Amino acid sequence: MSAQLSVNLNKVALVRNSRGRGVPDLCDAVDTVLAAGAHGITLHPRLDQRHVRFDDVPRVAQHLRAAHPGVELNIECEDAPSLLDLVLRVAPEQCTLVPVSPGEVTSDHGWNLPPDRVRLTRAVSRLRDAGIRTSCFADCDPDGVAAFADVGVDRLELYTGPYAWAWGGPDQRAQTDLVHRTAARATDVGIALNAGHDLDRHNLLGLVGLPGLREVSIGHALITRALDVGLATAVQELLAALKPPPSPAP
């Protein structure tokens, strides 16, 4: 079974915010990507609300439940109290906790354990008590995976930036091996996997068959590709890239 595709709508929101009005509409984008075959929706609100705004989150959640019952909503956020309160009010199927550094352009690193253990354990506990599946953003590091099991997290979202940037270059093999070794270690300690950051229709090839991979979250590459081929086709290309190759004929 291939991994599920969760479409991140942040860049749709960013385009909307640039004009200060309601176009493009996030719920219209939800309808389009789900009709094209996407399995879930990801929103990543930040405290500065530079793309997805706080009021987008309940609106998209309500639209999913009314028009697309059973489709998973994944909310990514840092562990700021106001953001966790928002997640608990909306009650998505999954919350992915992502560390934030001041001034960062985008998420560019995983949680640092053991230094972040206390705060992360506190946040994971609140979410799990509310029945929300928890995932934590993690660097590809086989030696660091086991520490997340002690936090009580259900899944890890592997930060695939270095892997994606290496694709097609001399470091591709080494970075791909690192991702696979990290995944194998996560499976050993009983943690399922998601993956995200700069994944596209090309580099997804190296993740097909990755042990324990349940979901990939893709936004930026999807929207940039959609400028050429349209949103629905861009989704379908990603879905095709996630499928395992056919078995050879006997």
The pLDDT value given to residue 40: 98
pLDDT category, 105, cuts 50, 70, 90?
low
Count how many residues are written for the chain: 250
Q: Is 76 a catalytic residue?
A: yes
Structure tokens at 74: 């994944």
Spatial separation of the C-alpha atoms in residues 82 and 95, rounded to whole Å? 14
> Which listed residue (76, 157, 215, 237) is catalytic?
76
Q: For the residues 58-82, what does the mean pLDDT come to?
A: 97
4-242 to CATH, choices 3.30.70.2190, 3.20.20.30, 3.20.20.70, 3.40.50.300: 3.20.20.70
> Which listed residue (39, 51, 63, 197) is catalytic?
197
User: For 162-217, how does the pLDDT look when each residue is reduced to its tens digit (9 = 90+)?
Assistant: 999 999 999 999 999 999 999 999 999 999 999 999 999 999 999 998 989 999 99
Q: How many CB atoms lie within 10 A of CB 207?
A: 23
> Which listed residue (39, 44, 51, 63) is catalytic?
44
User: For 11-60, how does the pLDDT look when each residue is reduced to its tens digit (9 = 90+)?
Assistant: 999 999 998 888 999 999 999 999 999 999 999 999 999 999 999 999 99
Domain boundaries along the sequence of the chain: 4-242
Within 13 Å of residue 66, how many CA atoms lie on the same side as its CB? 8
User: For 125-171, how does the pLDDT look when each residue is reduced to its tens digit (9 = 90+)?
Assistant: 999 999 999 999 999 999 999 899 989 999 999 999 999 999 999 99
Cβ neighbours of residue 42 closer than 8 Å, sequence gap 6 or more: 6, 7, 8, 9, 73, 74, 75, 76, 96, 217, 219
Candidates 108, 116, 227, 155; CA nearest to 3 is 155
The pLDDT value given to residue 244: 76
Percent of the chain with pLDDT over 70: 95
Decide if pLDDT at 247 tops 60: no
The pLDDT value given to residue 190: 92
Q: Is 202 a catalytic residue?
A: no
